[in-house]
Amino acid sequence: MPETLSIWTNIQVATMTPGSPYGAIENSALAVSGSRIAWVGKAKELPDPFKNRADRVYDGKGAWVTPGLVDCHTHLVYAGNRAREFELRLQGVSYEEISRRGGGILSTVFATRGADEQELFRQSTPRLESMLAQGVTTVEIKSGYGLDVDTELKMLRVARLLGKTYPVTVVPTFLGAHALPPEFRGDTDAYIDFVCRNVLPEVAGQGLAVAADAFCDTIGFTREQTEKVFRTAREHGLMIRLHAEQFSNQGAAELAAKFKALSADHLEHLSEEGAMAIAKSKTVAVLLPGAFYFIREKRLPPVDLLRRHAVPMAVSTDCNPGTSPTTSLLLMLNMACTLFGLTPEEALAGATIHAAKALGLEKHVGTLEVGKDADFVLWDITSPVELAYAFGVNPCQRIIRHGEPLDHRDFAPLPDAH
Ligand code: DI6
Ligand code: FE
């Protein structure tokens, strides 16, 4: 049976392909065959065979169309929250200090260990639903609040189940080297051994993650420890990404480059050598303005340096309970401009083409091009700049995933639906 052919007319597309601002084509049309994009261009150039054979024709009513958004760095699966810690920080206690006192990431580890799989799923769904409602069609989800075999596997199974339940592509990452669990207090090397011997092989063996990440920082793990995790990850066929240079410079970007990491994330303390290294390894710089804002960081990621060395910049929520309790990638576009000085076009590229590259999915998503997945969003805006300009609003009109227009109930099932 030939695949269903749909045509979207009366639209303006921001293809996000390089070469012209937003890769924009006004008065355009887009054809979808099955789950892939079959044609995109000026409406008047739409070839006759598409027009004649179309099974379905949709009127976009002048909407702007972008690729489905890609949120390439999230810790979306966790239990509990850290509202109390927020109060403490507002009284002047720093994030690092809370972490040293045994709070911070560890308090989420206790809550996540204590929640069974169903409960963890239940607590994670509102966050995912909120993301999807704002046009996200691909999301990366990290483990890292388990720090033991059972809970790391449980988090990754929940991430997988979210991807099966909702119309979204979930990209799972193993973040065993996120923090030191209490049972290893005082012996980070022993914990890293445990991650490499007991946890990572199990995660990889069960196919529960496609990449490994680590938190290489003064309150996380050293370069040597991170390198050990990366070597093991590589032996098990996992790709690499890294929380790098967030609170201090550890030469973590250089380490990411050495392992040809897909992404190096945060980067507030990136050096010129680090920028040169990731430029050479074609590693994407993932900027996380939500975390910068929420923990009131002072030091900006060196955006000019990244531009000078032509490092692609992605923008993501870092959705997590401690440093970035947000689900709004659209808000991050605005913050990437107002706080970090990105242009609105760079910000949108950061949540589409470059975020796709940060996940190794650039052949499938991130731009509107023939052959790519038909994941796209119709927006009630008059120019793509507006996606970064407005904040705290959601102009998402319609979401098309693998060629199928979603119904609101697809991404916000009724509370008793599962
Ligand atoms: N850096 C971050 O911003 C998150 N993890 C990390 O390594 C914070 C995670 C948390 O505080 O729960
Ligand atoms: Fe993070």
How close is the Cα of 414 to the center of ligand 2, in Å?
Answer: 30
> What is the model's pLDDT at position 413?
61
**What is the rounded average pLDDT of the residues 96-121?**
94
Is residue 355 within 8 A of residue 367, CB to CB? The reply is no
Is residue 395 within 8 A of residue 386, CB to CB? The reply is yes
How close is the Cα of 416 to the center of ligand 1, in Å?
Answer: 31
Residue nearest to ligand 1 atom 3, measured at CA? 323
Sort residue 381 into left (φ over 0), alpha (ψ -120 to 50) or beta: beta
Q: How many CB atoms lie within 10 A of CB 359?
A: 28
Selection from 1, 69, 5 nearest residue 395 by Cα: 69
Is residue 46 within 8 A of residue 7, CB to CB? The reply is yes
Alpha helix stretches (DSSP H) within 296-378: 303-308, 329-338, 344-350, 353-358
Of ligand 1's atoms, which has the minimum distance to the CA of residue 95? 11
Pocket test of ligand 1: the residue of 88, 318, 319 to mutate, having most ligand atoms within 8 Å of its CB, is 318
Is residue 62 within 8 A of residue 29, CB to CB? The reply is no
Amino acid at 382: T
Residue 414 has pLDDT above 70, yes or no: no
What lies within 8 Å, CB to CB, of 272 at 6+ separation is: 305
Pocket test of ligand 1: the residue of 95, 143, 215, 287 to mutate, having most ligand atoms within 8 Å of its CB, is 215
Domains and CATH numbers, the chain: 5-67+368-406 (2.30.40.10), 69-358 (3.20.20.140)
Q: How confident is the model over 115-139, as pLDDT tens digits?
A: 999 999 999 999 999 999 999 999 9
Is residue 343 within 8 A of residue 367, CB to CB? The reply is no
CA atoms in the 13 A half-sphere facing the CB of 56:
13
Residue 284: pLDDT band by 50, 70, 90 thresholds? very high
Percent of the chain with pLDDT over 70: 98
Measured distance CA(64)–CA(93) in Å, rounded: 44
Residue nearest to ligand 1 atom 7, measured at CA? 215
Amino acid at 38: A
Is residue 229 within 8 A of residue 177, CB to CB? The reply is yes
Pocket of ligand 1 (CB under 6 A): 75, 104-105, 108, 178, 215, 243, 246, 291, 318, 320-323
How would you class 104 by CB atoms within 10 Å of its CB: exposed for 0-12, middle for 13-18, buried for 19 or more? buried
How close is the Cα of 243 to the center of ligand 2, in Å?
Answer: 6
Ion ligand 2, residues whose Cβ is below 5 A away: 318
pTM for the whole structure: 0.97
Residue 75 has pLDDT above 60, yes or no: yes
Least confident of 28-37, 92-101, 181-190, 326-335: 92-101
At 135, list the tokens: 């046009």
